[in-house]
Chain A
Amino acid sequence: MRYLPLSADDRGQMLAAIGVDSVDDLYRDVPAGGRLTSPIELPGHTGEIEVERALTSMAARNTPAGGAPSFLGGGIYRHFVPAAVDHLIQRGEFLTAYTPYQPEVSQGTLQYLFEFQTQVALLTGCDVANASMYDGATACAEAVIMAGRITKRKKAVVSGALHPHYAAVTATSTEFLGLELVTPNPDLTGEEDLSAMIGGDTACVVVQNPDFFGRVRDLTALADACHAQGALLVVVVTEIVALGLIKSPGEMGADIVAGEGQSLGNALNFGGPTVGLMATRQKFVRQLPGRLVGQTTDVDGQRGFVLTLSTREQHIRRDKATSNICTNSGLCALAFTIHLTMLGEVGLRKMAALNHAGAMRLAERLAGMAGVEVLNESFFNEFTVRLSKPASGVVDALAEKGVFAGVPVSRLLPDAEQLLLVAVTELNSDDDMDRLVNELEEALR
């Protein structure tokens, strides 16, 4: 078997050195009732050719959005990732290293995470960021828990325009921590007034920008309202490319930013793995969950990097830790940071501008169609339209023709039958938009 380097001869010599007759003797502590007496009912070992054939045929039973005119968003976005990114993250020294607990042999991982933390801090307009989380939704939940720790309050006001998965994960993750979530109805009109819901017992307000329906808002007044009551503002960003063109949450007064970084460096991957982002103010750094890389010096006085503030973490603090998290999204964070380094200041701004320009063009075209109403005043690269027919049926019909029209909101909010989320990135050509408009006309006729 190709992954196993011991020969039969090796095994014999090693058993002799141990002083046992067979490997069964090494399992003698397994009680009789726990030993398998018959073979497991699964296929036997298989060559590389057969495995590749089987999984390639499974992959062929999918119609990937990656290769079609696709306007799917809703928290996961298809962007152009330069070839160098995937090449570099597959270097064995990155791919097959463990968590950098031994800094002398992990300066590569530690330095890129330090650079990643700096990039995330710059993008979000925050003082500091951690070394990544599982995904945006879990980062959002951890932000609420963190706000509870900081303020020692028990109530969180959660916007009705927060991504429904983020709201659900936050509700599940906080259920037994004594936190109460207050959520208005889904905010289809953009008229919710979260400021009115803040009280002296509010730990934080959670708001997404651009929100789930694509709307962009100035959060400065909301931040002021939070701070006036001693509450924190948590801002969720699911499309990180937006921060190339809109004001950062930090500039608008956010205390904690929780985001999804998939858009940079990472494929769609059917939604996972991705890379959660988390940033905050310097003064809250000891309440941050997850791994942190810090700068220090070695015994020769040279600059180096280490994992730091581990006294927050579960392997030291056990049940008193800030979180049970023991993993970040190292390799996804690497893809994110390489892509962002490729882009730089100029590239990210240009990419963001292309997204916005494309979305404006499509919004204008859709607004002129019968049976389509564009609901957004403001947006970055995604907006909501109301169709004259149930959106999921229209989406299914267009998928049959090889066009992914967007995300029917009813997939996440069952009552919003006619709403469709439409996202446009730099990968959508004018031809894609023609196809969408033509097929939509037909489907809505």
Chain B
Amino acid sequence: MSAPETYTGNRGLQMEEPLIFEADSPGLCGVDFPDADITSDRLGGVKREGDIGLPGMAEPQVVRHYLRLSQKNYSIDAGFYPLGSCTMKHNPRLNEKLARLPGFAGLHPLQPETTTQGALELIDATAHWLSVLTGLPGVAMSPAAGAHGEFAGLMTIRAALEDRGDARKRVLVPESAHGTNPASAHACGYAVESIPANDRGRVDLDAFRAALDTDVAALMLTNPNTCGLFEDEIIEIAEAVHEAGAFFYCDGANFNAIVGRVRPGDLGIDCMHINLHKTFSTPHGGGGPGSGPVVLSEALTPYAPVPYVVRDGNRFRLIEDEGASDAKPFGRIKGFHGQFGVFVRALAYMMSLGADGLKQVAEDAVLNANYLMASLEDVLSAPFAGPCMHEVLFDDRFLADSGVSTLDFAKAMIDEGFHPMTMYFPLVVHGALLMEPTETESKAALDSFIGTVRSLAEKAKAGDAELFHEAPHLTPRRRLDETAAARKPVLRWLPPED
């Protein structure tokens, strides 16, 4: 029986909610302040005249508005979120509590160093954990996100090369890489050359060797790669990179698969960013804030950006000035000292799990992904043989002739209460479905997901395409017209014209 239409448009607990601008109660305010009498001002003759146009609300209206909005979101707290390459794992609440301690959250970045020794110690301790886990001695803590870390890493490489009088022009990037890799290389002034994958889903070693010469500054490789596979020829790759005098950059987005079991430094990697919001469980927050520290080999460490923390006996010092030490920092990439609030959360997570727990994290993440692969490969189609690492890749051959696309299939997952997997990425297979379960899903959650995917796959193959084309059916909004949104962009609310 389908649900009846309602007068309000609400559907039980699912509420319609206007924009704040449409709910304006002019004159209301959710904050009580004392009156400020400004009879004169010192505003340089540019006092604002006229209204800004902000809507007014009292606190109850504000709370209800945002609470209702929150209920229109899927979240890892609410359910299984198998977005490949995104590492949607549980976000421990202890970390939120600690990041809000007044001794951390209430610190101003320009306080005297003597009053922030605990914060500098925290940055140093976080860097120490990252350094030991990756086997690389240097850590640049200031990048604000993964892509920002890529930029920082490549700028470090560029500075090291130029310092030895060996400016180079190209960066090699496998075609399966995240889009940020070529974009970051471009931002550092490098030409990007794409390297194809072989039929095992790894870097094509012959094509790579053919592209490699003394004009190549770096190879940017994601390992485990975006097909969910460990680059099993990585040591040969590293040796070739170093023979050519280039540096080996690793995109550490998939570090969750190997943390505690493999140190990137042992593989010959010179430089790697770490997404603290992936491997180290800091919340994604609907798209940030992230944090992307970069670990560096000994040769690269002197070129890391300012600021950085050094330890002098019992005292921690913050080096903010580019000319203040023997190092040769390439510059500054962010205001102040990095995503400190994110470091607190990441350190609390690392301390909670410890060396043994982090190894278990990697193993359970890999076990969960392989369990999905083993349980689904007979009904879906896997382009590459396993074992996989922490994510498993399928293509759309299983949907051939069904009239159902990867997108349709993913949207049908939504009606079943699951967040879709990553779709159409990586680009090296057709109609990709990339699933990353993470270690924080139970076997029961995986079994429920597996059962659902199997049933949907069978339904699609049985020819019930219509159901898929129209999915999702049960969400606050159904499929949205993205083409119209891009053709004539409406990016803000405007008052209705009378």
A62 and B288 contacting across the interface, CB-CB below 8 Å: no
Not counting A34-B235, A102-B74, A404-B108, a sample of 9 additional A-B residue pairs whose C-beta atoms are within 8 angstroms of each other reads A57-B118, A76-B108, A94-B73, A109-B287, A111-B19, A270-B340, A272-B338, A345-B52, A380-B43
- Contact: B472 with A104, CB < 8 Å? yes
Verify if B347 is at the interface (C-beta below 8 Å from A): yes
Give the CA-CA distance A300 to B374 in the complex, in Å.
Answer: 39
Q: Which residues of A contact B127 (CB under 8 A)?
A: none
Contact with B along A99-134 (1 / 0, CB 8 A): 110111111110110110111011100011101101
In the complex, the answer to whether B333 meets A399 with C-beta atoms within 8 Å is no
Of the stretches B207-215, B262-270, B459-467, the one at the interface is: B262-270
Cross-chain contact A104 with B477 (CB below 8 angstroms)? yes
User: For chain B, which range describes its interface: under 10, 10 to 19, 20 to 34, or 35 or more residues?
Assistant: 35 or more
Interface segment out of the listed B78-86, B242-250, B398-406: B78-86
Inter-chain contact A3/B374, CB cutoff 8 Å: no
Task: Determine if A243 is an interface residue (Cβ-Cβ < 8 Å).
Answer: yes
Known: A45-B354, A323-B183. A270 touches B67 (CB 8 A): no
The interface residues of chain A lying within 8 Å CB-to-CB of B491 are 114, 117, 128-129, 285, 292-295, 308
A26-B370, A111-B69, A115-B21 known; A46+B354 contact, CB < 8 A: yes
Cβ-neighbour of A93 out of B40, B47, B71, B290 (below 8 A): B71
> Which of A36-44, A146-154, A193-201, A437-445 is the interface stretch?
A36-44
Pick from B74, B76, B229: contact of A105, CB under 8 Å: B74
14 A-B residue pairs with Cβ-Cβ distance under 8 Å, sorted by A, are A18-B373, A40-B263, A44-B355, A82-B31, A95-B91, A138-B335, A271-B340, A272-B337, A294-B486, A315-B180, A325-B148, A346-B27, A363-B42, A378-B45
* Least CB separation from A311: chain B residue: B486
Please judge, given known A-B contacts A318-B179, A327-B289, A342-B30, whether A17 and B493 are in contact too, CB under 8 Å: no
* Complex interface: stretch among A7-15, A181-189, A225-233: A7-15
**Contact B31 A29, beta carbon cutoff 8 Å:** no
How near does chain B come to A361, taking the closest CB pair, in angstroms? Answer: 11
Chain B residues with Cβ below 8 Å from A138 are 144, 148, 333-335
Which B residue's beta carbon lies closest to that of A139? Answer: B335
B161 adjacent to chain A (CB < 8 Å)? no
Whether, in the assembled complex, B186 has its beta carbon less than 8 Å from a beta carbon of chain A, the answer is: yes
Interchain CB contact under 8 A, A294 and B37:
no
Contact with A along B192-233 (1 / 0, CB 8 A): 100000000000000000000000000000000000011011
CB closest residue in chain A, given B17: A111
The distance in angstroms between the C-alpha atoms of A44 and B358, with both chains bound, is: 9
- The residues in B between 371 and 420 inclusive whose CB is less than 8 angstroms from any CB of A are 371, 373-375, 387, 410-411, 414, 419-420
B118: chain A residues within 8 A (beta carbon):
57-62
Complex: chain B residue closest to A273, CB-CB: B289
Q: Which of B234, B387, B475 contacts A26 (CB 8 A)?
A: B387
What is the minimal beta-carbon distance from B260 to any residue of chain A, in angstroms? 6
A26 surroundings in chain B (CB, below 8 A): 363, 366-367, 370, 387
> Once the chains bind, are B341 and A273 in contact (CB under 8 Å)?
yes
Is B295 an interface residue, CB under 8 A from the partner?
no
Interface presence of B344 (CB below 8 A) = yes
Which residue from chain B places its CB closest to the CB of A392 in the assembled complex?
B112
